């Protein structure tokens, strides 16, 4: 299943990737995916932590040429 | 006149001003304790007596014998000497080190410098080391184990005595910088270090305690000073002041604990109630009495520090944007908690209830403003 929305936060420091993720999530249906592209080292922690606080599912990270793609599934 | 700080200084875990007792002792020692204690004339004998008295006082508080205690130039130097000397003394066993994932950066730096190989034992979400994983990481060639007495970033007390029981003879180094003079110390350590400016003594004094029978070899060219462990003339006036400061801190530790814990609890509940989307981190109960850490969702840690500074509050942060490396704090990373918008508050003998209440009234509108400016208001 490919993500419905990809949020490009390359070159932008924390907490921007988490803010952009929070903005994008309401735009997808429950059960669908958002990928956040980030090269900020804090995103690896802050995106899973945000999912825990917001009761969304953190699917995992995939390394890209620049940074990583952090995949989140909307649960609520 | 006593040394004190302006209202709003909440970074005691970094440094404290001299306590009144330590200040008085320093002024007296500048008059009386200038001679080189290693010489053979009257003023030197006097200096030697003072130095040995300071050693006895510090040893008493740390639960050590005086001949196990040496004074160093800082807590960092003490930790470096503990790690490097223990590895040099046990090079026949191996060069592997086991440490918790939340050690102070000076311990990690010493391990990276001198260990052949190192294993980091994980911590749980509250910042407490996994005892079983720590034990499982020990190997036949493990020369040293390292465990901080309590987390300097989130306050969680570490199960040092339980880890010692499972170390199977591997010497344990305990960095007690945040606990000495404030909280009960563990007893089963082979090496223990502390830092005077964290207990109200002067900067420039650290303590290295090495249990009798622990294999340790000086990583530096040794001389006759400090039992052959710390070369160079010791800073006697500062050491005398540090010793008096530690005695004073230990004497009031129980009453300060009883006074500061409710203030920290007031901060914990006030922050959780007043700021939406905040994560207070660290063990809520089994913790240092004076320290509290929290992270605010969608807030830039550096912007938060700057805004609090403008309100007269001095605090520290583990957020990546406040670090020269631009990496988030390895302690927060190991715990798996939010790393941005992070603030550490650490209280001290001059912290008052009204200061705490002022912080609680200042923080919520400030966080709301920063979120508004970041366009993260109603997320």
Q: Which residues of A are catalytic?
A: 14
For B92-145, how does the pLDDT look when each residue is reduced to its tens digit (9 = 90+)?
999 999 999 999 999 999 999 999 999 999 999 999 999 999 999 999 999 999
The answer to whether B134 and B120 are in contact (CB under 8 A) is: no
Distance from CA of B333 to the nearest CA of A (A): 6
The answer to whether A58 and A48 are in contact (CB under 8 A) is: yes
What is the torsional sign of CA B303, B304, B308, B314?
negative
Strands A5-8 and A33-38: parallel
Nearest CA in chain B to A47: B338
Give me the mean pLDDT over the B345-373 stretch. Answer: 96
Residue B178 CA to residue B41 CA, distance in Å, equals 39
Distance from CA of B329 to the nearest CA of A (A): 9
For B189-220, how does the pLDDT look when each residue is reduced to its tens digit (9 = 90+)?
999 999 999 999 999 999 999 999 999 999 99
Closest by CA to A71, choosing from A23, A38, A26, is: A38
Amino acid B1: pLDDT: 38
Give me the mean pLDDT over the B324-350 stretch. Answer: 91
Amino acid B324: pLDDT: 66
> What domains does chain B contain, in order, with CATH numbers?
20-251 (3.40.640.10), 253-373 (3.90.1150.10)
Peptide bond into A15 cis (omega under 30): yes
Is residue A33 pLDDT above 70, yes or no?
yes
Amino acid B175: pLDDT: 98
Is residue B243 pLDDT above 50, yes or no?
yes
Give me the mean pLDDT over the B59-75 stretch. Answer: 98
The answer to whether B363 and B275 are in contact (CB under 8 A) is: yes
Amino acid B321: pLDDT: 67
Amino acid A3: pLDDT: 62
Distance from CA of A11 to the nearest CA of B (A): 13
**ipTM of predicted assembly, 2 dp:** 0.92
Q: Which chain A residues touch B279 with a CB distance below 8 Å?
A: 49, 53
Amino acid B190: pLDDT: 98
Indicate yes or no: CB of B327 within 8 angstroms of CB of A19.
no
Q: Which chain A residues touch B298 with a CB distance below 8 Å?
A: 15, 18-19, 22
Nearest CA in chain B to A13: B321
Give me the mean pLDDT over the B292-298 stretch. Answer: 96
Give me the mean pLDDT over the B322-330 stretch. Answer: 77
For B13-59, how does the pLDDT look when each residue is reduced to its tens digit (9 = 90+)?
999 989 999 999 999 999 888 889 989 999 999 999 999 999 999 99
Output the DSSP codes for B332-350. Answer: HHHHT---TTEEEEE--TT
Give me the mean pLDDT over the B315-334 stretch. Answer: 83
Domain A5-73 has CATH 3.30.110.40: yes
Residue B19 CA to residue B3 CA, distance in Å, equals 6
Closest by CA to B245, choosing from B198, B204, B298, is: B198
Is residue B9 pLDDT above 60, yes or no?
yes
Residue B173 CA to residue B79 CA, distance in Å, equals 9
A5 interfaces chain B, CB cutoff of 8 Å: no
Distance from CA of B47 to the nearest CA of A (A): 52
Q: Which chain B residues touch A41 with a CB distance below 8 Å?
A: 320, 326-328
Mean residue pLDDT of chain B comes to 94
Q: Tell me what percent of the residues of chain B surpass a pLDDT of 70.
A: 97
Please name the residue that has the structure tokens 């993720």: A21
The beta-carbon neighbor of B277 closest among A13, A23, A53 is A53
Indicate yes or no: CB of B298 within 8 angstroms of CB of A14.
no
The answer to whether A21 and A72 are in contact (CB under 8 A) is: yes
A22 interfaces chain B, CB cutoff of 8 Å: yes
Give me the mean pLDDT over the B250-262 stretch. Answer: 97
Residue A18, phi then psi, degrees to nearest 5: -70, -40
The beta-carbon neighbor of B375 closest among A14, A19, A48 is A19
Closest by CA to B331, choosing from B105, B93, B174, B76, is: B105
SS (HEC) of A25-73: HHHCCCCCEEEEEECCCCHHHHHHHHHHHHCCEEEEEEECCCCEEEEEE
Closest by CA to B69, choosing from B238, B194, B236, B232, is: B194
Q: Which residues of B are catalytic?
A: 321
Give me the mean pLDDT over the A33-60 stretch. Answer: 94
The beta-carbon neighbor of A45 closest among B300, B328, B374 is B328
Amino acid B141: pLDDT: 97
Distance from CA of B304 to the nearest CA of A (A): 12
Closest by CA to B219, choosing from B78, B70, B88, B77, is: B88
**Domain boundaries, given as residue ranges, for chain A:** 5-73
Amino acid A7: pLDDT: 95
The answer to whether B319 and B302 are in contact (CB under 8 A) is: yes
With cut-offs at 50, 70 and 90, classify the pLDDT of residue B319.
Answer: confident
Strands A68-73 and A33-38: antiparallel
Residue B115 CA to residue B51 CA, distance in Å, equals 33
Mutate which: B300, B340, B375, B377, vs A, most A CBs within 10 A: B340
For B132-173, how does the pLDDT look when each residue is reduced to its tens digit (9 = 90+)?
999 999 999 999 999 999 999 999 999 999 999 999 899 999
B374 interfaces chain A, CB cutoff of 8 Å: yes
> Helix B236-251 and helix B20-32: axis angle, to 10°?
150
pTM, 2 dp: 0.94
B321 interfaces chain A, CB cutoff of 8 Å: yes
Strands lying side by side in the sheet with B142-146: B69-72, B206-210, B191-195, B172-175, B142-146, B96-100, B117-121
By residue count, chain B amounts to: 379
Is residue B6 pLDDT above 80, yes or no?
no
The beta-carbon neighbor of A15 closest among B326, B337, B340 is B340
The answer to whether B335 and B283 are in contact (CB under 8 A) is: no
Indicate yes or no: CB of A15 within 8 angstroms of CB of B326.
no
Amino acid B3: pLDDT: 46
């Amino acid at each position: 299943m490919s993500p419905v929305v990809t949020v490009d936060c390359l070159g932008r420091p924390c907490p921007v990737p988490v803010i952009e993720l929070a903005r994008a999530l309401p735009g997808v249906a429950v059960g669908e995916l958002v990928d956040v592209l980030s090269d900020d080292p804090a995103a690896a922690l802050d995106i899973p932590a945000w999912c825990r606080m917001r009761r969304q599912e953190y699917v995992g990270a995939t390394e890209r040429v620049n940074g990583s793609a952090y995949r989140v599934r909307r649960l609520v | 006149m006593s040394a004190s700080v302006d209202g709003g200084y909440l970074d005691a875990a970094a440094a404290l001003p001299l306590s009144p007792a330590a200040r008085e002792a320093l002024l007296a020692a500048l008059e009386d304790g200038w001679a080189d204690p290693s010489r053979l004339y009257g003023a030197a004998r006097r200096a030697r007596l003072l130095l040995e008295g300071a050693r006895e006082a510090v040893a008493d508080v740390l639960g050590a014998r005086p001949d196990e205690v040496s004074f160093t130039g800082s807590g960092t130097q003490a930790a470096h000497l503990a790690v490097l000397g223990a590895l040099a003394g046990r090079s026949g066993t191996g060069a592997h080190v086991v440490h918790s994932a939340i050690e102070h950066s000076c311990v990690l730096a010493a391990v990276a410098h001198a260990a052949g190989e190192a294993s980091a034992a994980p911590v749980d979400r509250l910042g407490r080391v996994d005892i079983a994983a720590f034990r499982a990481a020990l190997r036949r060639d493990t020369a040293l184990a390292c465990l901080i007495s309590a987390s300097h970033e989130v306050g969680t007390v570490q199960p040092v005595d339980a880890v010692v029981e499972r170390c199977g003879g591997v010497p344990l180094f305990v960095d007690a910088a945040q606990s000495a003079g404030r909280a009960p110390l563990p007893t089963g350590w082979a090496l223990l270090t502390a830092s005077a400016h964290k207990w109200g003594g002067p900067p420039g004094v650290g303590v290295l305690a090495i249990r009798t029978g622990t294999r340790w070899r000086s990583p530096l060219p040794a001389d006759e000073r400090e039992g052959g462990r710390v070369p160079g003339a010791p800073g006697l006036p500062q050491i005398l002041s540090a010793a008096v400061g530690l005695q004073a801190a230990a004497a009031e530790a129980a009453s300060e604990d009883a006074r500061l814990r409710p203030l920290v609890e007031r901060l914990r509940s006030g922050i959780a109630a007043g700021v939406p989307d905040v994560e207070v981190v660290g063990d809520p109960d089994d913790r240092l009495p004076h320290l509290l850490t929290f992270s605010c969702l969608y807030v830039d840690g550096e912007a938060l520090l700057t805004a609090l500074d403008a309100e007269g509050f001095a605090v520290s942060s583990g957020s990546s944007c406040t670090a020269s490396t631009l990496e988030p704090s390895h302690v927060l990373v190991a715990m798996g908690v939010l790393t941005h918008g992070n603030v550490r508050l650490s209280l001290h003998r001059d912290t008052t209830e009204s200061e705490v209440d002022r912080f609680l009234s200042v923080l919520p509108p400030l966080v709301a403003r920063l979120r508004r400016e970041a366009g993260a208001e109603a997320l």
